[in-house]
Chain A
Amino acid sequence: MALLDRASPDVHDVGNPPLANRQQPRRYLIPLILPAVAVLALLSIYPLAWLIYMSFHQVALAPGAPDTFVGTANWTRMFGNPQYWEGWRLLALYSGVSMVLEVGLGTLLAVLLNRSKHEKLLITVFLMPMMVAPVVAGLLWQYLYNGTFGWYFWVLRSLGLLDGGTILGSSDHALWAIVLVDVWEWTPLVALIVLSGLKLVPKDQMEASWMDGAGPVRSFFQVALPSIKASLIIAVLLRFMDNIRIIDHFIALTGGGPANSTKVLPLYLYEQSFSFFELGYGSSIALTLLLVTIIVGKLVVGVFETREAKGPMSEEEV
């Protein structure tokens, strides 16, 4: 298995064409992008405009009926609604906790996998949850948590860790139960990304650190950690983006309950838009979510670009 990092500086000098050869005009490449841009524009700029329009209207549900302009009513309603802010709080809590668990556990797994003889087999095993449709993962875990048939419920009861009630039926436990599903499905992704960073740590450097008697923990922080920093940032940002993007686990497991204790903001938006058909109100929520995602997105692209900055043809513009 060969793992490569585009950031390795020595890699790219070889491919660098002599400067004189680069002067060829490349502007006429633009037509090649047009089909892709057209599709994306039709389905992103156009809907975005629509989103902004809807956020200032009460959207009529009957086809052909006119929408009513309501000014900033949707926006003031949104900012004045405690459920909206609770949605942000739950989203932050959910993302934060699952991130810490996934990064911690994923890094540990990566370090151990790097030393294991069965690396390939184990990676195949760890990949499996990622192939599962998130909504199916949600259903599967709902079954495991189930108060009548659920094996995990039974195990927890048998160990005396659960007093009364069911796991998903308790507003104290439900969010953490969903965090565990997220950890199950996506920790391996973090592990894989970190592992690819670890592969770039020179072996003799690791060894030297061990020989100096630094011990596994210290040599990890001194030698390995600096090298996998970029990988960790990428993993964190990718996970964060997906936590905002994907609510399938919530839909399958709790639908926001009990007592709204798992109603993260995207789920609240989904409910307002497609259960209550408050499309105008939903649009203002969607726009705020979009804004935050774009900020995070800027960060993601920034990190990737920095990693690739030394690439042969990356950043110089004509």
Chain B
Amino acid sequence: MSSSVLTRPDIDDDDVVAGPSGNAEDQVVRGRGARLTGYAISFFLGIYALFTLAPFFVMFTAAFKATGSSFDLPAEGDWLGALKKLFVFTPTLEHFTKLFSESNFERYFLNSALAAGGSAVISIVLGTTAAYAISRGRFRGRSDLYFWIISTRMAPVVAVTVPLYATFRALGLLGTIPGLILAYTVFNLPFAIWILKGFFDSVPYDIEEAYMVDGHSRWQALWKIVPLVVPGLAAVLVLCVLLAWNDFIFAAVMGGEQAKTLPVATQGLKSASGIDWGQIMAAGLVTVAPMLLLGIVIRKYMVQGLTMGAVKQ
């Protein structure tokens, strides 16, 4: 609750917000059959959770299984054998050691981190000032400007990659980390502006006004209300990192060998002679694990970011 008070300091959120969800069941599901309904709900959600988690389980176990025998499947219809094959194996780190000793994965990891982190920081700084100005400004063409900014976010990645490739070639940015940072910033900045504008809109103008009447400048006023949009900043930061980290097309086209990121390197393992699935699953795990951690630790900001601010938690 405290976060929503921070986002929307102008209201008493108890008026608007549904109560804790835990009570919802008691309130809504009543009478005969309530228990049955409850079971049915749990059953369906459980099935869906299984559908969601099963691929993760397969990826995780495959990454720790030795190459060779453990990769063949049981005979068709041998469900018992399948269970045994899924759960009983001797874990090994061979795939991971290979990734880091032979395939340079620590470099790719660093590249990914630099590109994602760098573009997130730039997007936040430029996005904050721009979103503030669009939220508070009253100038002609404001909504056109806003739409133009948003539309750059919606552009199909591939469509923009063609001319960006030519531009980057001319500027000598191909195959460099700054090039990737710049490319990701183009895609993240509109997003940052979109989300942050929503947050600035919800901060009452009175706060800055009173502050500026006291003789402070517009900049100081902006600085004054930044703490009120911290949840927005967090959402933007997380999302920018996520989008840049998970990008494939840009890094594949512009990154080359010098600025290769984890997703490109993972896909690259495939084209090598024969497909070592254990290796690829281990690489996938290395790529996915940091983002999973991020998503679970700061879940609510992730939700806000992914839904472009449509969900405010």
* Residues of chain A whose beta carbon lies under 8 Å from any beta carbon of chain B: 1-6, 8, 10-12, 14-15, 17, 21-22, 24, 26-33, 35-37, 39-40, 43-44, 46-48, 50-51, 54, 59, 63, 105, 108-109, 112-120, 122-137, 139-141, 143-144, 146, 148-151, 154, 157-158, 184, 188-189, 192-193, 195-196, 199-201, 203, 206-207, 210, 216, 231, 234-235, 238, 241, 244-248, 251-252, 266-267, 269-270, 273-274, 279, 282-283, 285-287, 289-290, 293-294, 296-298, 300-301, 304, 308, 311-318
Any chain A CB within 8 A of the CB of B113? Answer: no
Known: A15-B10, A304-B308. 20 other contacts (CB 8 A): A2-B17, A3-B17, A4-B16, A15-B203, A26-B138, A29-B136, A112-B41, A115-B29, A133-B248, A139-B266, A141-B55, A151-B86, A195-B311, A216-B37, A270-B161, A279-B166, A285-B159, A293-B156, A308-B198, A314-B201
Q: Is the CB of A15 within 8 A of B202?
A: yes
> Which residues does chain A contribute within 8 Å of B308, judged by CB atoms?
234, 238, 304
Interface string of B1-37 (1 = CB under 8 A from A): 1011001101101011111111011011110000001
**Residue contact B156 to A36, C-beta cutoff 8 Å:** no
A126-B281 contact, Cβ under 8 Å, with A8-B16, A133-B262, A313-B205: no
- Is B229 positioned at the interface, with any CB of A under 8 Å from its CB? no
Separation of A81 and B106 alpha carbons in the complex (Å)? 45
Contact across chains for B17 and A47 when beta carbons are under 8 A apart: no
Contacts of B97 in A (CB 8 A): none
- State whether A200 touches B25 (Cβ < 8 A): no
In the complex, which residues of chain A have a beta carbon less than 8 angstroms from the beta carbon of B77?
Answer: 158
Q: What is the size, in residues, of chain B's interface with A at 8 Å between Cβ atoms?
A: 137
8 Å CB contact of A36 from B8, B126, B143: B126
Q: Tell me whether A266 and B53 are in contact (CB under 8 A).
A: no
Cα(A117)–Cα(B265), bound, Å: 41
Secondary structure at the B interface, as helix, strand, loop or mixed, is helix
Which of B146-161 touch A at CB < 8 Å?
146-152, 154-161
Q: Does B215 contact A (CB under 8 A)?
A: no
Q: Does B58 lie at the interface of the complex (its beta carbon under 8 Å from any beta carbon of A)?
A: yes
The secondary structure that dominates the A interface is helix
Is A251 in contact with B267, judged by CB distance below 8 angstroms?
A: yes
B294-313 vs A, Cβ < 8 Å mask (1 yes, 0 no): 11100110110011101111
* Candidates B17, B45, B253; contact of A113 at CB < 8 Å: B45
Contact A297 B151 (CB under 8 A): yes
Q: Which residue of A lies closest to B142 (CB)?
A: A317
Q: Which of B29, B130, B136 has the most CB of A within 10 A?
A: B130
Binary interface encoding of chain B residues 41-69 relative to chain A, with 1 for a CB under 8 A from any of its CBs, else 0: 11011001101110110110010000000
Q: How far is the CA of A2 from the CA of B49 in the complex (A)?
A: 24
18 sampled A-B residue pairs with Cβ under 8 A: A2-B4, A3-B312, A5-B312, A15-B204, A27-B139, A33-B130, A48-B163, A116-B41, A122-B49, A131-B292, A143-B280, A195-B311, A200-B16, A252-B270, A266-B156, A273-B162, A293-B156, A301-B147
Q: How far is the CB of A318 from chain B (nearest CB, A)?
A: 4
Chain A residues near B76 (CB-CB < 8 A): 154, 157-158
Query: How many inter-chain residue pairs (CB < 8 Å) link A and B?
Result: 407
Residues of A within 8 A of B134 (CB): 33
Give complex CA distance A141, B86 in Å: 17
Residues of chain B with a CB closer than 8 A to A114's CB: 21, 24
Partner of B58, one of A105, A144, A294: A144
Residues of A within 8 A of B29 (CB): 115
Chain A residue, CB-CB nearest to B284: A136
Write out the residue numbers on chain B whose beta carbons fall within 8 Å of the beta carbon of A294.
151, 154
* Beta-carbon contact of A132 and B291 below 8 Å: yes
